[in-house]
Structure 1
Amino acid sequence: MLKLQVHGIVQAVGFRPFVHRIAVKNHLTGYIANVGDHVEIAVQGIPEDIEQFLRDLKNKKPPISEIDRIEKEVCPNENFDTFEVIKSQKKEGGESIIPPDIAICDECLEELFTPSDNRYLYPFINCTHCGPRFTIIEEMPYDREKTSMKSFPLCGFCQKEYTDIVNRRYHAEPVCCPEQGPHYTMSVEEAAHLLDQGKVVAVKGLGGFHIACLIDDSVVLRVRDLLNRPQQPFALMARDIESVRKLAYTSRQEEELLQSWMRPIVVLRKRKPLQGAAPLLHTIGIMLPYAPVHHLIFHYCASDVFVMTSANFPGNPMIIDNEIAERELPFADAFLYHNLEIVNRCDDSVIRNGLFIRRSRGFVPKGIPISHSKTVLAVGGELNNTFCITKGGKAFLSQHIGDTSNYDTLLFQKEAINHFIRLLALDWEDIDVIVCDLHPQYNTRKQAEDFSQMYGIPVKMVQHHFAHAYGLMAEHQKEMIVIAADGAGYGLDGNVWGGEILFRSERLGHLEYVPILGGDLATKWPERMLLSYLEREIPGRRYSKQEQQVLLNQLKKERILTSSTGRFLDGMAAFLGVCYERTYEGEPAMKLESLALKGKNLDVEMEVEGNQMMVKDFVKRIVDVKAPKKDIAKTAHTALGRAYIELLSNFNDMHLPVGFSGGVAYNEIIAKVLQKEAQKRGLEFYVHRLVPPGDGGTSFGQVASING
């Protein structure tokens, strides 16, 4: 008898019925069972049939499943008459984990709209190929009684499908039907008609509540006012890919991503202005329906596209509780919510140009290979936060957590950490080290120190931008010089970093330091940064001459300095009048990029002196150039990218690859300039593909900083 321990994404993906089919086909006897966080298979038969079974196991597995490794053991034969799927067993150890939530499959979608089907128009239809997974799981192994579906006993019809080895719903743990399954408290048809009438509807989906409404400017402006998001772009949900093409330009890769089982929000170039949904931006985030309820809404609606944005106020966690939704969202005209508990809230994933802006639904909790086998908890930074846990050579990045300066979000992170530890079959005493950001005032650092004191685990602090660099190198398994460019990170010298050239543990160069006029006020009011660079008054801006003089007097007393790329872009945005007040993270830089894409480079260069890029001198020169705003914007981007590569080249005698990380890595213009300039010098160029370049990937870099 050959016994196999199969690790990977092998639970909740139809793996057991698949193994049963190929075992029977190859005339084998034995069993398969979920064992803790992996599956155990025992097979008996002639050697040729076992070899064919092993080939089928690797080559014909379900498309959503992943096999990381197979441990084999030859054991004495037992008396098996058939091949059976046996009851799950609890066993400690391993590092496998359940798959993410999966968009509705084609078979279920067809049944959803087949009048003779038992699940006709039923918004919770699912099978082993699709439906909720991560959002309903409480603990491993993945069985119905360990999910929030345990509150809904199987009826006779569902029980028959659940126990039929040849049925698509064999051991589909969320399987249900209208007779005894979850239900919505109002009809989807009624909610859809309200949307068509211009009403605002709070919709509870797989991972939490969304606010849905028409894309008409009058309706969107009302939602902006109610959610306190005056400028932040809203995601849209379109009926189908044809509807997407009417709104935005799409590439083949983007369409494949939109229609994949992950169904992320994909940030696309606008074809239509859509200024209400994404003011002063050239892009718009769009997703396709992924849950049955979304398809039902479009089935009953005349509209082909809606705003579908997370129903929470800025900084707060995504709402998952019905009562909290009614209390926090009193402005909604209707609530389309259900009675299935969401165990793990999970925001939509967002991808732009192949880069994760947010890695969440559809991707979490899939593991990412990492070079060490230690068990590490990294708590991340502050904004757009995630945490990360490593085990057995894999890093498990959490779903989007959010702004941990908010107390409720910090509590959410603590709860989610404990839940991940359970899902990974870990205890706190298994964790070797906790990693946090160097910033002394981050709540996550205090959280790490609290965990350390509570469980006796050592804490390691990693500087923010080095974490970005470690993460990028870990993704590509390459040593490289990394440009880490973003808005802010507490530096090793106590200043605010954000325009760094890093190699291993050394800071090779950076943007010239300038004072931050008013500290955090400068991040909200970009014109303050413009004054920091110019060191003089500039007429025609939002601040009056008298106000500018007061601020310039204050500038002489500022002691906090920054090398931030984000603040440089903020200052240019203020100079060109595209953003005077930041109302969401990255707003000035995003609007500046949209303006710059229409312009041409004027070949005004940013000088390099020693290990610094002389940004103040550049700003003082560029503001006196008489040219269209779009050309000045394009020139600022181009000069910055060229200066980075020029400075980096001074330290790159070994011709090491160049990497680009940090929030500025989303900037299409700067990334292209860096790539072009690096390749002109014969240097390889790398960006992130597995984790977000921004702060959502910092925790991955923190775990990567640990040596094996």
Structure 2
Amino acid sequence: MRVAVRVAGVVQGVGFRPFVHQLARRLALAGFAGNDVHGVFAEVEGPPSQVRAFVAGLRSQAPPLAVVDEVGVEEIPATGETGFRILASPAGGDADTLISADSATCADCLRDLRDPADRRFRYPFVNCTNCGPRFTIVQGVPYDRPLTTMAGFAMCAECKQEYEDPADRRFHAQPVCCPTCGPTLRFEPGGGDPIRKTAEALEQGAVVAVKGLGGYHLAVGARHEEAARRLRQRKHREDKPFAVMVADLTQARELAEVSTAAEEVLTNRRRPIVLLPKKAELADAVAPGNRRIGLMLPYTPLHHLLLEHTGPIVLTSANVSDAPIVYRDEDLGRLEGIADAFLTHDRPIHVRTDDSVVRIVRGREQLQRRSRGYAPEPVRLETKKHLLGCGAELKNTFCLAKGRHAFVSHHIGDLENYETFKSFTEGIAHFERLFAIDPVVVVHDLHPEYLSTKYALDQDVELLGVQHHHAHIAACLADNGEDGPVLGVAFDGTGFGPDGTVWGGEFLLADLTTYRRLTHLKAVRMPGGAQAIRQPWRMAASYVDELGRPARDDIVKLKRSGLNSPLTSSAGRLFDAAAALLGVRDTVTYEGQAAIELEQLADPAEKSAYRARIDEEIHGEDLIAALLDDPGSRAKRAARFHNGVADAIARTCDRFRDLSGTVALSGGVFQNVLLLDRTVEELETQGFRVLTHRRVPTNDGGISFGQVAVASRTTR
């Protein structure tokens, strides 16, 4: 019996061909296997029972990094072939394969790294088919060495032998290399052992730019107060916490409370930054005034070697605040005046990719930034057209979709400057080439001034505008593989409303095609417009005036005049007002700072709640009044405010229970773990089924996915 097999999914660059070879040899089957632009193909011949076992094993025994979406099988005439071989990849055709995300160094490669008898002992670029760079070095498909940034490194005889040996775990590992033929690490300025020189520089308080998988990081010793302060000054990053890399779980547990779920995420192949409750203090400037710390474990051999010689180190993106991460060696001049030294190498990075960020919510991961380790692996979504979702302005991602897959991009950033916008357009072009997608429908936000919207409007194809909060709820639906309708609660900072006001505290009846606004937080004025976002005390004054209580005269006059004071139903602005009134934060230096610090102030043991009136709208000003009148501690008042918002959400949903028994929660405000946990608890107590995000961020990083989800159902 002979069959032709086609395997689709993440099956290139993950050791799938050597796995197929070994599986066929183990079952004594003849034939061949290869890569092409559609995935992995094979033909096998032998006894029917063995052939069937082979086909079943393609799914059940697949390599750890593989994701098998589909196995197609067709019986064909037997040829009497003997032996099994791997074919060279054919050229041409439209790409229809998937690319693996970059993966942390595996245990086998770590053993090689630490074995004095191994020829890759302490070599910072050791990798195999189960780990190492993937997405960040891929220039095209099929995933073969000539189409990666390793093309310039010719394999030595020993590496070539491993590469061609089906029994070797480096069989057809495209980035395979060694000290003889691979990339070289160097420290600048000066010479010497690059790892030791870097460790010495960090100990002395230097800021060192370290080249990673997806770009350069800026590193300082996490216990070196002066170095951490200097880094903040040079990056113009006043308050936003830095991430910290630790050597292992033991070190992580010394610094933070690490739950079982957090341990699993910290140690998995994706190695994101995990936000955890802080236990031990590092330098004050690492995470000023913050009760949480973002920790990650080493994910490259270089990191493992460096952490052997240092304590915990700050690793933050190498850029000036709000600019994209530097990833090309020719752009290192941008770090002049920021970095004192450089730990670099000569393997090019093709795609800049920031670290991913995760929080643990109700025992599972909640993505706050989906990037390295996750992108460009697709999210399941059925569509009959090639689609592009351009995303939002802040925390931008784009999303391309075709067939059964939506490819949500790596984190692009805030589209507020030329460099980030260039990264956005270049990223779209790269994904279009990589996945052979030629969008016939381009989807955009309704906000006319977003750069992502302006980009969409310049495209000569069918356009579809999707309201911001509908996109949030659609993203949550599609993330859970559902169509709706649901009661959608979209709470965030800003979204363009069709009525000309700023939305952000929305209750929708929504599915993947349409939505209806059921109710919302009562709209209040934003005195000074965008200034009210940067200065939460303005929102505090606006809410206090709503209560008929005295507030700052000039702000009250501006608010009542309506000049540069748009109406907003934003939940984010309500949290800002509460934070300012509790003395948490009058001004912010990064998005969401006041609300983040308000959550950290709140006493999680407090269960009582303020109560808001609900009629045609939800009266957020009642929560502010209760907060002002409460004689309790700041921590208890902050908690009662959170609980009051959760209570208002649950009671509002109960009013519309006859429309749907399922509630979808989305929007950046639900990054607040205390609020999300209390809201889910309240809703489930009332018998609702609750959907939250799983594979894409609940913040604006998920908007592009929601946009294509809507387009997949409305443009058929």
Q: Is the pair's TM-score, using the shorter chain for normalization, greater than 0.5?
A: yes
Query: Corresponding residue for 1:286?
Result: 295
1:159 Cα deviation (Å)? 1.1
Aligned AA for 1:439? H
| Greater CA drift, 228-237 or 83-92 | 83-92
Following TM superposition, by how much is the alpha carbon of 1:165 offset from its aligned partner in structure 2, in angstroms? 1.3
- Between the aligned partners of 1:523 and 1:4, the Cα distance in structure 2 is 56
Q: After superposition, give the CA deviation of every residue in 1:379-408 in whole Å (9 maximum; x if it has no partner).
A: 100111100111111111100000112211
CA offset at residue 334 of structure 1?
A: 0.9
1:360 aligns with 2:371: yes
Out of 513, 526, 541, the residue aligned to residue 523 of structure 2 is: 513
Paired amino acid for 1:270: K
Partner of 1:580: 586
Q: Deviations 1:454-495 (Å, cap 9, x if unpaired)?
A: xxx111010111000001111223322111001101011111
Q: Residue 525 of structure 1 aligns with which residue?
A: 535
State the secondary structure of the residue aligned to 1:472: helix
**Counterpart in the other structure of 2:674:** 669
CA–CA distance in 2 between the matches of 1:91 and 1:67? 23
Using the TM superposition, give the Cα deviation of residue 91 of structure 1 relative to its aligned residue in structure 2, in angstroms. 4.8
* Compared CA separation, residues 602 and 30, structure 1 to 2 (3 A): closer
SS of 2:577's equivalent in the other structure is helix
Work out the CA distance in 2 between the residues paired with 1:574 and 1:537: 16
Which residue number corresponds to residue 542 of structure 1? Answer: none
Give the stretch that moved more between structures: 459-468 or 37-46: 37-46
Q: Distance in 2 between matches of 1:45 and 1:638?
A: 65
Residue 3 of structure 1 pairs with residue 4 of structure 2: yes
Retained in 1: the 8 A contact 2:254–2:279?
yes
Cα deviations across residues 168-197 of structure 1 (Å, max 9, x unaligned)? Answer: 111111011111211122212211121122
1:298 shift after superposition: 1.4
In structure 1, C-alpha distance between the alignment counterparts of 2:305 and 2:623, rounded to whole Å: 55
* 1:187-235 deviations in Å (ceiling 9; x for gaps): 1221112112222111011100111111233221111111111100110
Partner of 1:203: 210
1:648 positional shift: 1.9
Structure 2 distance, partners of 1:45, 1:477, is: 39
Amino acid across the alignment from 1:587: Q
Whole-Å Cα distance in 1 between the matches of residues 418 and 607 of structure 2?
A: 45
Written as runs of structure 1 = structure 2, the 5 A alignment for 1:615-654 is 615-654=620-659
Secondary structure at 1:377's aligned position in 2?
Answer: strand
| Paired AA for residue 179 in structure 1 | T
SS of 1:195 mapped into structure 2: helix
The answer (yes or no) to whether the contact 1:536–1:552 under 8 Å persists in 2 is no
- Residue 376 in structure 1 maps to residue 387 in structure 2: yes
1:191 aligns with 2:198: yes
SS in 2 for 1:392: strand
The answer (yes or no) to whether the contact 1:350–1:358 under 8 Å persists in 2 is yes
Quick one: distance in 1 between partners of 2:280 and 2:25? 55
Q: Equivalents in 1 of 2:227, 2:113: separation in Å?
A: 30
1:32–1:85 contact (8 Å) kept in structure 2: yes
Q: Secondary structure at the match of 1:157?
A: helix
Q: Which residue of 2 aligns with 1:255?
A: 263
Matching of residue 64 in structure 1 with residue 65 in structure 2: yes
Distance 2:604 2:81 in 1: 71
The question of whether the paired residues in 1 share the 8 Å contact of 2:487 and 2:659 is answered with no
1:415 aligns with 2:420: no
Equivalent residue number for residue 46 of structure 2 = 45
Structure 1, unmatched stretches of 5+, are: 540-544
Asked whether the equivalents of residues 599 and 633 of structure 1 are also in contact (C-alpha less than 8 Å), the reply is no
Amino acid at match of 1:246: E
Matches within 5 A, 1:320-399: 320-353=327-360, 354-399=365-410
Distance 1:599 1:532 in 2: 30
| 1:16 and 2:10 matched | no
- One-letter amino acid matched to 1:510: H
Alignment length (residue pairs) = 692
SS in 1 for 2:561: coil
Q: Is the 8 A contact 2:128 2:170 kept in 1?
A: yes
Within 5 Å, give how 1:514-553 maps onto structure 2. Answer: 514-535=524-545, 548-553=552-557
TM-score by length of 1: 0.95
| Structure 1 position 550, deviation (Å) | 1.5
Question: Take 1:329 and 1:281, find their aligned partners in 2: how far apart are those partners?
Answer: 29
Identify the residue that residue 501 of structure 1 maps to in structure 2. Answer: 507
CA distance in structure 2 between the partners assigned to 1:374 and 1:674 by the alignment: 37
> C-alpha distance in 1, partners of 2:5/2:603?
55
Larger deviation: 85-94 or 66-75?
85-94
C-alpha deviation, 1:253, in angstroms = 1.2
Cα deviations by residue, 1:340-379 (Å, 9 ceiling, x for unpaired):
1100111111100211000111111111111333321101
Letter matched to residue 528 of structure 1? R
Provide the rounded CA distance (Å) in 2 between the counterparts of 1:655 and 1:206.
45
1:329 Cα offset (Å): 3.9
User: For the Cα contact (< 8 Å) 2:527–2:559, is it kept in 1?
Assistant: yes
Question: Percent identical across equivalent pairs?
Answer: 39
What CA distance in whole angstroms lies between the structure 2 residues aligned with 1:127 and 1:681? 51
Task: Confirm or deny: 8 A CA contact 1:249 1:268 kept in the other structure.
Answer: yes
> How far apart in 1 are the matches of 2:96 and 2:688?
37
C-alpha spacing 1:482/1:537, structure 2 compared with 1 (3 Å): closer
> For residues 541-568 of structure 1, what are the alpha-carbon distances to aligned partners after superposition, in whole Å with 9 as ceiling and x for unaligned?
xxxx9x9221211111125100000011
Q: Tell me the amino acid that sits aligned with residue 630 of structure 1.
A: A
How far, CA to CA, are the matches of 1:617 and 1:253 in structure 2? 37
Amino acid at match of 2:207: V
CA contact (8 A) 2:604 2:674 kept: no
Task: Read off the aligned partner of 1:647 and give its amino acid letter.
Answer: T
* Distance in structure 1 (CA, Å) of the matches to 2:5 and 2:56: 13
1:297 paired with 2:303, answer no
CA–CA separation in structure 2 for the residues paired with 1:491 and 1:298? 49
1:561 alignment partner in structure 2: 567
Query: Structure 1, residues 671-708: CA drift from partner, whole Å, max 9, x if none?
Result: 12211221221111121011000011110100111215
Structure 2 gap ranges (5+): 188-193
Deviation at 1:537, TM superposition (A): 11
User: Superposition pairs for residues 5-154 of structure 1, below 5 Å?
Assistant: 5-78=6-79, 80-93=81-94, 95-154=96-155
Contact 2:235–2:338 (8 Å) recurs in 1: no
Q: TM-score of the superposition, structure 2-length normalised?
A: 0.94
Deviations along 1:297-348, one digit per CA (max 9) or x if unpaired, are 01233x2x11111111222111102232233342322111111110011111
Secondary structure of 1:503's aligned partner: strand
